[in-house]
Structure 1
Amino acid sequence: MAAEGKHLSLTFKAIAYSAGGFLVAWAAIKLIDTYFDPTLLADTKGWLLRAWNWLLLETPIPNWSLLMIIAALISTLTVAIYFYRTTDGTYGELHEIERKVYKMNNPQFPQLTDNQTLLMEALAYHANFRKIANLDSVCKLVSLSKLEVEDGLKQLQAKHLVKQKVTRGTFGATTFELTLAGKDYALERFELT
């Protein structure tokens, strides 16, 4: 009964491994005999000896240290290029997100009321199509009363986004146009063609 519990130390797996190793060794020996040129080994040994002697030459800076410096520089350059390429897109996206958050927290332009925004859109429309913006044409675009438009335009003038031009004479008129700051505001906030 005790003999039934014993297992053979030589299992099928061990036999398969040893047979596979034998076949690989036999194939390697056959391939080396067929395709390997023995003169190549002698040539390689000669080349390695010449390289070793060159490395040990007595010069102001040993050749082996020169090779180590060159290898260190190439390695550093390779690592720098790798990190630049892998993180370039990430930092670009991060920079864009930070810029948007900064602009929201630190607005470049003053906050405008709804009526002032409508007036800025109307003036941007006039500027985009090179039309003269007078009080009547702005009132038609925004559907506000003349009093509301005049009041809104005065507030925009105080914020230096709009300037008023008054011409005298027979055909005198009052026109409104965007200042440089107003044009910047319009370009950033509205879709202009």
Structure 2
Amino acid sequence: MAAEGKRLPLTFKVMACLAAGILVAWVVTTLLDTYFNMPLLADTKGWLLRAGDWLLLETPMPNWSLMLIIATLIGTLSVAIYYTRSPDGAGGELHEIERKVYKKNNPQFPQLTENQTLLMEVLAYHANYRKIASLDSVCKLVSISTLEVEVGLKQLEAKRLVKRSATRGTFGATTFSLTVAGKDYALERFELT
């Protein structure tokens, strides 16, 4: 079934161009034959007459029917190749649906809760703008409690999507960043600029 908005490739414009092309070819061959003494049109006409005589020969299987069978087979093969190689259309839509069903049934990444997804989005935001993600900066961007943020970050660490880095010294701080798997998850799920 054709999708809505899709047009057939054979339109009035294509048919008009084809007719104009045939007319131009006839005019050119007639002018070449008349003014430049090139018997191209006469040779073509003679060749077409000989081919017509051959098609009308009486044989056990008439030649025209053999040519019709061959033309039908070539046409069927051409249509099959066209629809097999066509990137869009029903085959492309079916492939896209199959891919979505496969991704849903075989997720590449673990399923996250709403809070974990929110934390991943905040960490992706920090990574996208090259900011340091501390517990305070994450808590400022989300509307959940500090305890829930800590629990969510620990769960994301257990799923190996987030890594924690601690610095020592007078101004020691704990920062959070995405792992390679976390970056892949963020690239697939969120729109980053």
Normalising by the smaller structure, the TM-score range is 0.5 to 0.7
Aligned length: 139
2:141 paired residue number = 141
Q: Distance in 1 between matches of 2:184 and 2:118?
A: 16
Please state how far the C-alpha of 1:116 moved relative to its aligned partner: 0.9
**DSSP 3-state at the match of 1:118:** helix
Structure 2 residues without counterparts, runs of 5 or longer: 1-41, 55-69
- TM-score of the superposed pair, with normalisation by structure 2: 0.58
1:106 paired residue number = 106
Higher Cα Rg: structure 1 or 2? Answer: 1
Please state how far the C-alpha of 1:91 moved relative to its aligned partner: 1.5
**DSSP 3-state at the match of 1:164:** strand
Please state how far the C-alpha of 1:82 moved relative to its aligned partner: 3.4
2:151 paired residue number = 151
The two structures, once aligned, show a CA RMSD in angstroms of 3.6
Q: Distance in 2 between matches of 1:178 and 1:135?
A: 14
CA, structure 1 residues 138+80, in 2 after alignment: closer, same or farther (shift >3 Å)?
same
Matched, 1:123 2:127: no
**DSSP 3-state at the match of 1:176:** strand
Please state how far the C-alpha of 1:126 moved relative to its aligned partner: 0.6
Q: Distance in 1 between matches of 2:115 and 2:71?
A: 67
1:172 paired residue number = 172
Please state how far the C-alpha of 1:80 moved relative to its aligned partner: 4.5
Please state how far the C-alpha of 1:169 moved relative to its aligned partner: 2.8
Q: Distance in 1 between matches of 2:79 and 2:174?
A: 65
Which letter does structure 2 place at the counterpart of 1:135?
L
Q: Distance in 1 between matches of 2:106 and 2:154?
A: 25
CA, structure 1 residues 91+129, in 2 after alignment: closer, same or farther (shift >3 Å)?
same
Please state how far the C-alpha of 1:77 moved relative to its aligned partner: 5.9
Which letter does structure 2 place at the counterpart of 1:150?
E
Higher mean Cα deviation, 91-100 or 79-88?
Answer: 79-88
Q: Determine which structure has the larger helix proportion and give its number.
A: 1
1:23 paired residue number = none
Q: Distance in 1 between matches of 2:179 and 2:87?
A: 41
**DSSP 3-state at the match of 1:101:** helix
1:159-184 deviation line (CA, Å, top 9, x unaligned): 00100111223432211011111111
Which letter does structure 2 place at the counterpart of 1:178?
L
**DSSP 3-state at the match of 1:123:** helix
- TM-score of the superposed pair, with normalisation by structure 1: 0.58
Q: Distance in 2 between matches of 1:81 and 1:93?
A: 18
